[in-house]
Amino acid sequence: MDFETAVGEALANAIEHGKCSCLTVDCVYAHQRLVAEIAQNGLGFEPPRDRRAPERGSERGYGLFIMHSLLDRLEFYENGTRIRLVKRTPRRAKRAASPARPAQ
């Protein structure tokens, strides 16, 4: 759910702030990691180095803060027109063998 929220926020930001006419989204699950790369042909941006939450009462500016809070990694490329979102998933515990059912 965290990954889905972060990807949705990234897409909303690309559309609203990037003023793009084309978006591509590539998603992969491998090695217990979900990875999404989003590229757009619009305006880029210089991501802020500050990861603090916006000022209290602010109506805007929560997108990057939310993404950083929900993800294990958030990377920006090509002047902010391409981003990579990474979320590790927990390893699944191996199931214990079920005891044999008694004969009836």
Distance, in Å, from the CA atom of 103 to the CA atom of 39, rounded to the nearest integer, reads 59
d(CA 23, CA 37): 10
Residue 41 lies in a domain: yes
Question: Is residue 73, in this structure, part of any structural domain at all?
Answer: yes
Tell me whether residue 93 is in a domain.
Answer: no
* In the chain, % of residues over pLDDT 70: 88
Please report whether residue 53 resides in a domain: yes
Residue 35 is predicted with a pLDDT of 97
Q: Quick check: is 83 in a domain?
A: yes
Count CA atoms within 13 Å of residue 47 on its CB side. 22
* Model pLDDT for residues 54-74, shown as the tens digit of each residue: 788 888 878 889 999 999 999
Averaged pLDDT, 14-34: 92
Q: Say what the pTM is.
A: 0.79
Report yes or no on 102 lying in a domain: no
User: Does 69 map to a domain?
Assistant: yes
**Which range marks the domain in which residue 70 is found?**
2-88
User: Is residue 60 included in any domain, yes or no?
Assistant: yes
Question: Which CATH number do you get for residue 75?
Answer: 3.30.565.10
Q: Token pair for residue 18?
A: 């990037």
The count of domains in the chain is 1
